Amino acid sequence: MLYLVEVAGGLALLLGGGELLVRGAVSLANRSGASPLIIGLSVVAAGTSAPELFVSLVSVLEDKPAIAIGNVVGSNIANILLVLGTAALIWPVVVRRSVIRWDGPVLIAATVVFCALASLGEIGRFAGVLMALGLTVYLAWSYRLDRRDAQARREIEEEVAELGGEYGSWRIAAYLVAGFVGVIVGAELLVFGAAGIAAGFGISETVIGVTLVAIGTSLPELATAVAAARNRHTELALGNVIGSCIFNILAIIGIVAAVRPIAVPDEVLTFDLWIMGGVTLAFIALVLATPRLGWTIGAIMLLCYAAYIVSQFTGLSAMPAMYRPA
């Protein structure tokens, strides 16, 4: 029960702290005179990824790499199957070609590189630095493209305007401090609570990482997608999911590995990594083939995600690792 309380408290602090961090950072950037496009592509993106980043960083520093790597792999699977599947059930997800033409290939490339590095058994510091540099190139090129795309620019400016109010200096400072404290303490509680649940129920930390932790840190994306679907602006949900998946790989894995190399568990290598790669490729192929993701596709996505979760808690996900050659 104590571990469940820690997990619940950690998630609440992560969500609340992340929200305050984003609002404070956006307001500060607005006051500095930065363009809304730059703020949307950098400040907002970094702020919304802060919960995942701190959870993975704390996990690695506490010698729990299975939770760190499981958080990213599980979050990408959840973003595609759970988040988009839920949005498609509420309202058809519109596929905007301008997003897929650029972000789609970047997501595939990032996924392939991540899988190749993970197959080595450890993602080292040098690889982490290269991934973080890749993120910088991605952001710079995205700014160049979105500056030319009137619709994308308008959507980003509306999001920034909604997040960044006219706050005073003290309020901005309070938001930033409270946000950082929230995500740091929340990450500590979530990691310790998740590890305690894993030990108490005899479940591997990898399973807890790709399920409980991944779903928890994907809640902001889920909430955003549901809100976008209810307002019939599902093209925002698609762009947010693809961007989040790219950030999870390049920013979170890159930064965490640059701080400390990440050991990749056998369970992830033999099962979860393949699922993530397959889901990502199938998703990009699907959005290239259809102009929208309707109710049927959304239901199939959710059923696939349910099957994935069941495989984790029935031991099916661990079976391939048992037969892996030593």
- The 3-class SS string of the chain reads CHHHHHHHHHHHHHHHHHHHHHHHHHHHHHHHCCCHHHHHHHHHHHHHCHHHHHHHHHHHHCCCHHHHHHHHHHHHHHHHHHHHHHHHHHCCEECCHHHHHHHHHHHHHHHHHHHHHHCCCEECHHHHHHHHHHHHHHHHHHHHHHHHCHHHHHHHHHHHHHHCCCCCHHHHHHHHHHHHHHHHHHHHHHHHHHHHHHHHHCCCHHHHHHHHHHHHHCHHHHHHHHHHHHCCCHHHHHHHHHHHHHHHHHHHHHHHHHHCCEECCHHHHHHHHHHHHHHHHHHHHHHHHCCEECHHHHHHHHHHHHHHHHHHHCCHHHHHHHCCCC
Give which of 62, 69, 24 is closest to 209, Cα–Cα: 69
Q: How far apart are CA 105 and CA 108, in angstroms?
A: 5
Q: What is the model's pLDDT at position 317?
A: 58
Q: Which residue has the higher pLDDT, 292 or 24?
A: 292
Q: How far apart are CA 126 and CA 105, in angstroms?
A: 23
Residue 181 token pair: 């404290």
Query: Residue 165: which pLDDT band, with cuts at 50, 70 and 90?
Result: low
pLDDT at 297: 94
Q: Is 269 left (phi over 0), alpha (psi -120 to 50) or beta?
A: alpha
Q: What is the pTM assigned to this prediction?
A: 0.83
Percent of the chain with pLDDT over 70: 80
Q: Mean pLDDT across the stretch 310-317?
A: 79
Considering only CA atoms, give the Rg of the chain.
19
According to the model, what pLDDT value does residue 64 have? 86
Tokens of 285: 């192929």
Q: How far apart are CA 115 and CA 326, in angstroms?
A: 20
| CATH fit for domain 2-317, picks 1.10.1370.30, 3.40.50.300, 1.20.1420.30, 3.30.565.10 | 1.20.1420.30
Question: Long-range contacts of range 116-121, CB-CB < 8 Å, 24 or more positions apart?
Answer: 118/69, 118/264, 118/268, 118/269, 118/273, 119/269, 119/273, 120/264, 121/263, 121/264, 121/269
What is the model's pLDDT at position 250? 92
Q: How confident is the model at residue 314 (pLDDT cuts 50, 70, 90)?
A: confident
Q: Mean pLDDT lowest for which of 81-95, 198-212, 221-235, 255-269?
A: 221-235
Higher per-residue pLDDT: 151 or 171: 171
- Residue 324: which pLDDT band, with cuts at 50, 70 and 90? low
Q: What are the distances in angstroms from CA 101 to CA 20, 85, 93?
A: 33, 21, 17
pLDDT category of residue 15 using cuts at 50, 70 and 90: confident
Task: Indicate the pLDDT class of residue 128, thresholds 50, 70 and 90.
Answer: very high
Confidence of residue 100 (pLDDT cuts 50, 70, 90): confident
Quick one: pLDDT at residue 76?
Answer: 94
Mean pLDDT of 84-111: 86
CA atoms within 13 A on the CB side of 86: 20
- Residue 77 confidence (pLDDT): 95
Q: What is the pLDDT of residue 181?
A: 80
Higher-confidence position of 320 and 4: 4
Any residues with CB less than 8 A from the CB of 158 and at least 6 apart, and which? none
What's the whole-number average pLDDT of the chain? 81
Q: Name which of 257-266, 278-287, 315-324 the model is least confident about.
A: 315-324
Domain ranges of the chain: 2-317
pLDDT in tens, 263-305: 999 889 999 999 999 999 999 999 888 888 889 999 999 999 9
